Amino acid sequence: MKTFLHRILDSISSGNIKILALELTIVATGLVIGFQIDRMYEQYRDNQLAEQYIQRLTDDIQSDLDNLVNVHDAASFRKFATETIYASINDLEIPASNPGLYIVSLEQAIYRFSLVSQHATYNELLSTGELNLLPVPVRISLHEYYGRVAVWEQFDAAEDFIQDQSYQRFAGILLPEHIQGAMSRDVDMPVTREEAMAAAHRFREKQEAIEWIPRLRAQHVGAIRVANELSALAEAALGQLEQFSE
């Protein structure tokens, strides 16, 4: 069986240019069709992969938004708790009138926010170079959101010493039997007026705890601000993802 090259040489030697042109046209057409099929397959694969990433990113960011709602809620309560125990320094009617809330406030005031972000999909896109599968507006919104998350995660890690200081400065104010309920924000926990008043007196005697109140409040205010900023960026990123998936 003659090869394609042999047939070309035979056509040239016999002067049969029409057959040569026909064979070349057939080959060229086959190559074009083959390239086009390969390109269509690659485009289909890229589209399918992009859709999968879009869904994963949507799930990740929605999970972050749910977490940010909890962060905002917790930080708002802790800001209130900080202000409550600070006010009790000069007003003992506060622990007397609502013992459960006061005990919870003493515990909640010392906690800081912890931002847990789901960014495995975004990191995968960066490491594989497949972020280019997504349109530019989506890439920009993801960069803005996850870039901001990275900044605050570094800030969060650097704030560990504040939590340690808080535990040390407030140690011994609450009775062991009240800590579990206070940790879960159970304002209806069984606490007597006398127990709350005793805790208030222990707090008033701890100058290192009182001096720490402004730092705690600033931390909670910062957590509220962070939650609001990140929520806005997350919602913007979700909007871009939804627009691309339509």
pLDDT single digits (tens) 84-100: 999 999 999 999 999 99
Q: What is the mean pLDDT of residues 52-61?
A: 94
Contact, 51 vs 135, CB < 8 A? no
Q: What is the mean pLDDT of residues 200-226?
A: 94
pTM: 0.79
Q: Is the pLDDT of residue 202 over 90?
A: yes
Q: Is the pLDDT of residue 150 over 80?
A: yes
Q: What is the mean pLDDT of residues 170-195?
A: 93
Contact, 132 vs 208, CB < 8 A? no
**Angle (CA) 96 99 103, round 5°:** 125
Structure confidence at residue 168 (pLDDT): 94
Dist CA 228 CA 215 (whole Å): 20
